[in-house]
Amino acid sequence: MNITIRARRLVYGLLELMPSPYQRSSLKAMLALFLCAQGLALPEHASHKSASALSRFLNLYDWPTTSVIRALRREILTVLLDRRKVGRRPILRAIVDLTPLQKSGEFEGLEGLIHILNKKRGLQLVVLYLEVDDWRIPWGFRVWRGKDSASPATLALKLLRTLPEVLTARYRVMVLADSGFGSVEFVEGVRRLGHHAVVGVRRDRRLADGTRLDQAGSRGERVFLEGLAAPVYVAAYWLKRDGGREKRFVLATKALSPAHIVRWGKRRWRIEGFFKTAKGRFSLDRFGQGSRLGVYRYLLLSLIAYLLAHWGYLSQGREVLPRWGAAARTILEEVLPQTVIEGLLAEIEERSALLRGHGIEVRVDGCKI
């Protein structure tokens, strides 16, 4: 099925979940804001919907957020299962990471959600990001609630458990993460799920015999880390940092050559590109809502917009992909053409005095198609 048809089907399905025409209109306005891809998706930036109306849509109105998530994942599953290839099961890269959505000031409605981690204050988001061939999919997220709550590793495992069996039966899942997820809990948890992992590991990690990892033997050695029941395979590489070089270590639960371990380990950095785009283009870190529900819905719509824009990327079918802004505009015009037209007409009306001052009069009439 054509990618733009899938995108249109997804958006129309989400609109059908809205309980009233008013809320359907608000959803269209929010998606259009995000798909402007300028990093300015706040209610006050809407051109033909009031900021208060969009704030009520996010924070107060009773529309089925869970049903939106289910509809989104059903469409994602359809895409991934349709890509099944003949022969060996293809690999699905499941990348987990934690990113801060930095905030300053007080947020009374978000008590318990704003914390400081690694010297960065804000909403600490654990994200599961999937890759299959050229497809990039933000699957889900969890919010870390502080030191006395579930750890980021525990939240990442919960996200991995949301991958449906029909998907994990079709794909070999390789979990990629940095050293923040190199705990015994996480590595053993991934194993229990039946997946393999390639995870960064601290240089001072101890082997079962008490030796430090950076004092171990040959590169790519099969070792037993302290606390792990089964052996892992460790490789090292040099990373350029602050004008020098820093030695980094990566472990794999599957027997791989050192070069393959390092190559897999570096692939997890692709999620950093996703974070940069989601924040810079799709306003992931610009939530300004006063309630937990409003923040959750805002983040969800931001990730939906990223996914739609990525599908706009893929729909171009070119060797050189367009920029995110162009891809987002392409998909916006495909899935919400009426909203684009309404915005254009509103701008013409707003600029009518300027146009008349330059001897230009614009008259809009309907026509038969």
Count the domains in the chain. 2
Within 13 A of 315's CA, how many CA atoms are on the CB side?
25
Domain hosting residue 202, numbered range: 89-286
pTM recorded for the entire structure: 0.90
Examine residue 365 and state whether it is found in any structural domain, yes or no: no
Do 280 and 300 belong to one domain?
Answer: no
Do 101 and 231 belong to one domain?
Answer: yes
| Of the residues 234, 263, 286, the one at which a domain ends | 286
For the chain, the distance separating the N- and C-terminal CA atoms, rounded to the nearest angstrom, is 26
Separation of alpha carbons 32 and 18, rounded Å: 16
Tokens of 337: 């053409």
| Of the residues 229, 264, 286, the one at which a domain ends | 286
Do 48 and 170 belong to one domain?
Answer: no
Do 336 and 227 belong to one domain?
Answer: no
**Count of CB atoms within 10 A of residue 149's CB?**
13
Within 13 A of 155's CA, how many CA atoms are on the CB side?
21
Do 150 and 183 belong to one domain?
Answer: yes
- Written as tens digits, the pLDDT of the chain (369 aa) is 688 899 999 999 999 999 999 999 999 999 999 998 888 788 888 877 888 999 999 999 999 999 999 999 999 999 998 876 667 889 999 999 999 988 877 777 788 888 888 888 889 999 999 999 888 999 999 999 988 899 999 999 999 999 999 999 999 999 999 999 999 999 999 999 999 999 999 888 988 888 888 887 656 688 889 999 899 999 988 887 777 788 889 999 999 988 999 899 888 888 888 999 999 899 888 887 778 999 999 999 999 999 999 998 888 766 565 688 888 998 999 999 988 888 888 888 888 889 888 888 888 777 776
Examine residue 222 and state whether it is found in any structural domain, yes or no: yes
Phi, psi at residue 266, to the nearest 5°? -75, -25
Examine residue 279 and state whether it is found in any structural domain, yes or no: yes
Do 59 and 195 belong to one domain?
Answer: no
Examine residue 368 and state whether it is found in any structural domain, yes or no: no
Do 212 and 280 belong to one domain?
Answer: yes
Question: Using DSSP, how many helices (H) and how many strands (E) does the chain show?
Answer: 13, 9
CA-CA-CA-CA torsion sign (71, 339, 332, 287): negative
Do 105 and 179 belong to one domain?
Answer: yes
Tokens of 368: 């038969």
Phi, psi at residue 180, to the nearest 5°? -65, -15
Any alpha helices (H) in the chain, and if so which ranges? 3-17, 21-34, 51-59, 65-82, 152-161, 165-170, 184-192, 258-267, 270-280, 292-315, 324-335, 337-350, 352-357
Do 295 and 280 belong to one domain?
Answer: no
Examine residue 367 and state whether it is found in any structural domain, yes or no: no
